[in-house]
Structure 1
Amino acid sequence: MIHPSLLRKQRIIFISLLTLILITLVVGLGLGPASLSYDRLIPTLFGQGSFKEEFVLFSVRLPRIIITLLAGMALALSGAILQGITRNDLADPGIIGINSGAGVAVTVFFLFFPIDSGTFVYMLPVVAFVGALLTAVLIYLFAYSKTEGMQPVRLVLIGVGFSMALSGAMIVLISSAERAKVDFIAKWLAGNIWGTDWPFIWALLPWLVVLLPFTLYKANRLNLLSLSEPVAIGVGVSIEKERIVLLITAVALAASAVSVTGGITFIGLMAPHMAKALVGPRNQLFIPIAILIGGWLLVFADTVGRNILESSGIPAGIMVALIGAPYFVYLLLKK
């Protein structure tokens, strides 16, 4: 049973994070090369703005902000699941190669398959999921030992190796491609939010709508998987079955996010740790907080990145890496 004081603390933090996200969204909607004053935001939202104001708000800024919010939530949830099933605080879909697997699949699809403008947006998450799942299965097989089970340290090391190998494979794939396609893949690798239109939201949203409640339903299983294997088996948990189901869930969340945002790393690493520091390690408590933190981190990084330079800005993936890399080193030294 969760103590009432912890539940009260979680609710206060949850509401505070929602407020912080709302403030960041409002600030982000008003910033950019095309002027849209803050006193015109509410009238424009209710259809009382000029054509220019409505275009800037509904066609440029609002879909981009919603995409970054949803993607950050998906990456944070994916990281929380991976850290739980591997019992490794350094697990993150970007660090252990899952994002790279999705990236190679997207690259192959983009370079070598005919693109139908009507289905391209909705096919991307599926293609990314297939590539990420194949990568995750290979990493899992290499990290698993019949005598010792899943080795968390080995999983991270093998994942980093896969990430480097797949990044090299992606460079080989694009080395002989057309210039326009190479530019797109380069932006994808940098984590430049490119899916900035409403269809990308409808392509990403169903994955979160289905997998978020499913993960919360499995929260107690995640609590048990974070214990030692003998204890989990002793209370009746089918360890391998639960790990595989939750691994597929984490892969689907990460793949759907990076298919429209590009190679974003460290969100899945930082958000769960921050949430655990605030409300403790029980998944029922920290997962909702981690999701909000992940969404806010990516929105904040993208808002700062696209306004810090006059021309094209700094990709959100680079901004997140500037924050996340030192945090990763800190965790590595600490753990």
Structure 2
Amino acid sequence: MTDPAIQKSKNILPFQDSSSMGADLGLFNQLLQMIDGDWSDSIRGICDHIVERFDAMGVVLSIFDRQFNEFFYIVDSLPRSSREALTGNNIPLDNDSAIEAMKRLYKGNDNFLNHYIFCDKELYEMAAIYFDSDINSAQAIIDNLNLKSIVAIPVLKGHHQYECCFHIGTDRTAKSVEMEHIGDYSTQLNIALEIIFLVRELYIKATHDSLTHLFNHKQGEILLRKEIDRVERTRQPLCAVMADVDHFKKVNDSFGHQAGDQVLGFMGGLFSEKLRKCDIISRYGGEEFLLILPDTGLQHAVEVIRRIKDVLERHTFNFSGTTHSITASFGVAQFDISIHREEKELIGDADRKLYLAKQNGRNRIEF
């Protein structure tokens, strides 16, 4: 007899597969698909069973990585009526759009991943976050769906890196006592989650630099190739930036490799803070970084990099009680379809500009 917690309901459909996964999660999803099996059926089955048990309009299970500040896994169970209502109101249901929506809601609501029941005013406020503060659209979607509450139930307590949470939509006001039923699925769910975490760890090791937590050299080039493919279709601007820490060897020689690691870690954090989520940042090698700025023309890219250069120049490092300032040089190149046939040609162009910046005195931008 099939366990009811993993039995699939015929009228419930998962998120549609997206034709183009998020640039930073494509490999992760491919790895998951390679080991697709009973564990994934178990997660979807749990979601299906929760929909039936709660008589819910739908349920979403998401996993958030605290270290990288991103949602990287999402699965749902939506009855056909809910799916049709959402698509009828122009709510996209592909995986990329779902993860983007989770990011927006998490950023806009402190209780999004906590035990909480969103109803009445708070439910409208959450919908307004999704619609970028468009109150009319928020009210319309809530009323059209007849949505009365969304129950947030975290299921991974005390994990040092990941947060895992169910969000359950209902057409009635949910009661807090109902949250306790989620514990019935904990053993089965934890087994499946361990597989996801293992794949996530393999993905991070394969694609990221362990010191800065940025993409590594190989992944940076792979993602640039994808951006070039996209630009060749859309004809939108694209810029690549090569950045290099000035006199980095002197830092290592004078203050030790821990001081050098401190500088590289700061650079990674600075780029991550000042650039957009859609921008791609990789540690290209040693003290060199490759920055990829989609939908950005040359002049705008230079302005962005100048702001970063100025922040770095003003920052003071403390190496064993000694204060020290660091600068960096930058080369910026815009993709030109008539010149750059491969990603390495665009990188080479930016690298030549970086060499000029070094030759012309360092702590400057050449473009």
TM-score of the two chains, using structure 1 as the length reference: 0.24
Say which structure is richer in strand: 2
Structure number with greater CO (CA < 8 Å, separation at least 6) is 1
Which protein is bigger by CA-based radius of gyration? 2
TM-score of the two chains, using structure 2 as the length reference: 0.23
